[in-house]
Structure 1
């Protein structure tokens, strides 16, 4: 930023009154294949900011790097439960997005959220659900049950890809066996472990590359996010996204500024920028998930809002947003997961 400008106006006035005069850098760390190139290019041109983008494969990978310190990043995009952890550990800047000019565009449903009530630290990036997709050209039965993953019919055995998101994976198993999320009860944890070990022989692979696995025909079923399913269906119309009767995982990813970010002013600009409806639409257009910004759908094709992956069919279970589990439960999850992957 220009030293003359900073001498003339306060940071707040500079940011919100004359943001087009910004310059400098912004370093973003986000999930892979999740950031619209059009969005980044527009931000760069509008504010004359040099932007770098690196990607990670999980919240845990990102959190480990941030905890280690000196990551060099300004912006990260943690999921809801990870936001709560990062706020509690003092890893995020309190940027007050709700008071930013575009804060008025926040969807009211996503302001007083458990992970950042009042939106003092983060802004919505995208939200959705985690379940699974099925190629219905190759399987004609009922797909709206977690039994598809954990006790599949013969024609699906050996044709299933499972996620490597530990939390979503474990919570799906909890729903299937009918125990509460994050339960420390040993009997409940044994039920989960037993169900997973019994199901393991039915799975072909573990991986995040769910779009490639489905579109290549490598598998018939894949656990995954609703936006993945939306994108797969554009290539294979017979693919359907399941809404299992046992329940479905909800999540929201959020734009956060790291504590002590070197380019904090540009990071705040970016938070405000993505709360503009037309910019939030660019995010959804690219990745196929809904966003938490009111008015963005008018900038998207009509079929986006009406798609079954974005707007669940009537009677579908409401998504469950699960707060972070206690450390002792996470430790057992990790042991179960490590043993399962052997």
Structure 2
């Protein structure tokens, strides 16, 4: 059975092989020749690229606005200030009125000469919000950087000053100070005990033992005031820097000491009023104020002349912003016409406040001892700052006071 199947399979395979052989015997046609490729066309020239358009200019950014300045914190005035002043140089009610108006308390300390005031500030004294130096001392303090500049916005009553007092040689424009009061320096005497006071400085500096005022008179304890009187008598400039002239004045003063009971800034008018002394070198308002109290004092300028001065309100360097504001408020208060009137009429010194003078009592504003007439003013001289030469005056003054 298997053999028959095998033969059949072989026969089929033989037939298949013969058929394949017959197919492989036919001739194969050569392929048709390949056509040459058509020549490649040259590429069209590339068009030049269109120029690139410049980009639109970039707009500059809007400038950044500067930030608004930070506002400084509002300064409030100090609760209390201290005034460093000459003694008895303010109306008794002024501080109370100022406190009632502003709530600011005021204390006061006193000095007896410009030299004492200057030395204290040069030594670094603090605690004072307002000081009251005379003209030539202000000039020294400005030069030495001892004063604050004033903020005029806080002192609107500056408009009340007489224009004469806005053009001062030591502080034009009132940059550092505001005039407080002004006056003169001359001689006061007891009218009950001295009928004929000396009209010349000669009778002071060369007093005789037979003169009723010999040994019963005082000179100011003030180097520049006393030397000014001596130099004016000698016919020299009271601000001289000639040492020979100053030496002559020194010798005159040493010789005068035998007829002088002392050097005094504080009580000379009371000694005149009480009759203990008959004659004194001093400041106009002190004598006139004492005249109201004692009724027996008069004042005059000797025939050779005397000095004129202006005391000023200033703020010392180094105060706090709060103290400075309170001090400027006080200065503005003093410049109020009613307050200026009160101050001047109380102590008989001349006010620089034109609006105060306009409403002042005639007894005050027409008093020739308070407001000297032109013929007297022509004989009055300011004391000027002398820089380093001040030390020469001080040395000679020490020699006068120590001389026996």
Q: Under a length normalisation based on structure 1, what TM-score does the superposition of the two structures give?
A: 0.88
2:207 and 2:295 mapped to 1: Cα distance? 22
RMSD: 2.2
Flag the 1:196–1:271 CA change in 2: closer, same or farther, 3 A.
same
Task: Determine the structure 2 residue equivalent to 1:114.
Answer: 169
Flag the 1:70–1:146 CA change in 2: closer, same or farther, 3 A.
closer
3-state DSSP of counterpart to 1:267:
helix
The answer to whether structure 1 residue 27 and structure 2 residue 89 are counterparts is no
- Which string of whole-angstrom CA distances, capped at 9 and with x for unpartnered residues, describes residues 292-330 of structure 1? 1112135543211222321325632432122112322x2
Q: Which is greater in Rg?
A: 2
Task: Determine the structure 1 residue equivalent to 2:333.
Answer: 273
Unmatched segments (≥5 aa) in structure 1 = 1-6, 15-21
Task: Determine the structure 2 residue equivalent to 1:3.
Answer: none
3-state DSSP of counterpart to 2:372:
coil
Aligned residue pairs, count = 326
Flag the 1:122–1:98 CA change in 2: closer, same or farther, 3 A.
farther
2:242 and 2:286 mapped to 1: Cα distance? 34
1:95 Cα deviation after fit = 0.7
Task: Determine the structure 2 residue equivalent to 1:303.
Answer: 363
1:146 and 1:198 mapped to 2: Cα distance? 13
1:99 and 1:107 mapped to 2: Cα distance? 19
The answer to whether structure 1 residue 182 and structure 2 residue 239 are counterparts is yes
Task: Determine the structure 1 residue equivalent to 2:269.
Answer: 211
Q: Map of 1:309-324 to 2, 5 A cutoff? A: 309-312=369-372, 315-318=375-378, 319-324=380-385
1:171 Cα deviation after fit = 0.5
- Which is worse superposed, 86-95 or 314-323? 314-323
- Which string of whole-angstrom CA distances, capped at 9 and with x for unpartnered residues, describes residues 12-57 of structure 1? xx8xxxxxxx561212111112122211111111000121111111
The answer to whether structure 1 residue 55 and structure 2 residue 115 are counterparts is no
Q: Map of 1:1-342 to 2, 5 A cutoff? A: 24-97=79-152, 100-141=155-196, 143-152=198-207, 154-208=211-265, 209-262=267-320, 263-312=323-372, 315-318=375-378, 319-328=380-389, 330-342=390-402
Unmatched segments (≥5 aa) in structure 2 = 1-70
- Which string of whole-angstrom CA distances, capped at 9 and with x for unpartnered residues, describes residues 70-105 of structure 1? 511111111101111111111111114488311110
3-state DSSP of counterpart to 1:250:
strand
Whether the aligned pair in 2 keeps the contact of 1:144 and 1:244 (CA below 8 Å) is: yes
Flag the 1:99–1:247 CA change in 2: closer, same or farther, 3 A.
farther
3-state DSSP of counterpart to 2:188:
strand
Whether the aligned pair in 1 keeps the contact of 2:83 and 2:128 (CA below 8 Å) is: yes
- Which is worse superposed, 93-102 or 130-139? 93-102
3-state DSSP of counterpart to 2:261:
strand
3-state DSSP of counterpart to 2:199:
coil
1:220 Cα deviation after fit = 0.5
- Which string of whole-angstrom CA distances, capped at 9 and with x for unpartnered residues, describes residues 162-216 of structure 1? 1102111110110011111232223212210121122111111211112211111
2:151 and 2:324 mapped to 1: Cα distance? 13
